[in-house]
Structure 1
């Protein structure tokens, strides 16, 4: 099977040639196939969030290449990358990145606005995703009125509203207790059975030791130190 994502000799340097230069990633090469569930692990500062950002086309490498379905995307202009992010990726951020003073429904609809869909169709699509996560009764509530677990479900609903192939999650259990973490794992497992590729950056053993995880890529000091199937 041809890889879904291929990265080759990837390097990421912040503040290059400056006194505060930071080498975040060093010569990373990695292939991810469709339908895999991959955990990126490592201590704080190991480069896992940077790598996640690059894999999700949210930032560009200093050098090296990223291919998505065989297409070189690492050198594309931002306007093309924005389209790729909307159609191929769903993002679940550590801090949720929801608009707190806006309704649940409006938050979930946000990724659909750049499309050519009518408002009625977007609303129907977002409503269907909210119903899936049992959030339809609170779709009119503002995000700031929700619990942490509810906000996490809204964030996942937003990530899925455009039906992406790849789910990118950065420390998704950082603000959840053990019970809510189990619920999240169940949601991700269901998504994987539907064919979604899932890439998670985490330092939480509840995630990377879970049966959900098929492969663990461990980083340290910006380098891959272990890449193994589980």
Structure 2
């Protein structure tokens, strides 16, 4: 077996173009997705990535931009028109395959299983028989809208990545130096609240969460620090 064949056989994840395109499409960021956001999406989805994944991702992004399959806008990446067409076709094909999956019949063996399940549910206490509700704290993927002067950026951010990563992401997008700015948001009382650590970031996520548990975009204001 040749070296090239060995590498292909060992690789379990899809080609980088497919993974990157999937990330950009699923993140749905108007101004494109940053290398960090794309990498985070891929790492969450695929667990068999190489040790030097981040370096390889950067190299692949550069190659895809050079080949015209991606368009770089400041520090973000968007699909080119041709790549969008290919990605849309794959999504359409996937949706068509999903529709063709066989459905269980309501008769015979499957109906018996369903009846048994209903009987078990009936015998449970009322609290346990209720369908499980969504845990408000389970929402970890946030939508950030950050404003600096007259510019605004929108991107997805994993709450578990913490405040430091959020600062780095905003510094990269606005081309600011770390430590030269602070992050604030306006709460329901109209007060400007400073975000300075992981706990205050979590509080801000709660402030922008609807009563039914749905998460709305967190609107941040980037304020330059005065020396």
Give the structure-2-normalised TM-score: 0.25
Could you say which structure has the higher strand fraction? 1
Greater helix share, 1 or 2? 2
TM-score, normalising length from structure 1?
0.25
Q: Which has the larger radius of gyration?
A: 2
Tell which has more relative contact order, 1 or 2 (C-alpha 8 A, sep 6+). Answer: 1
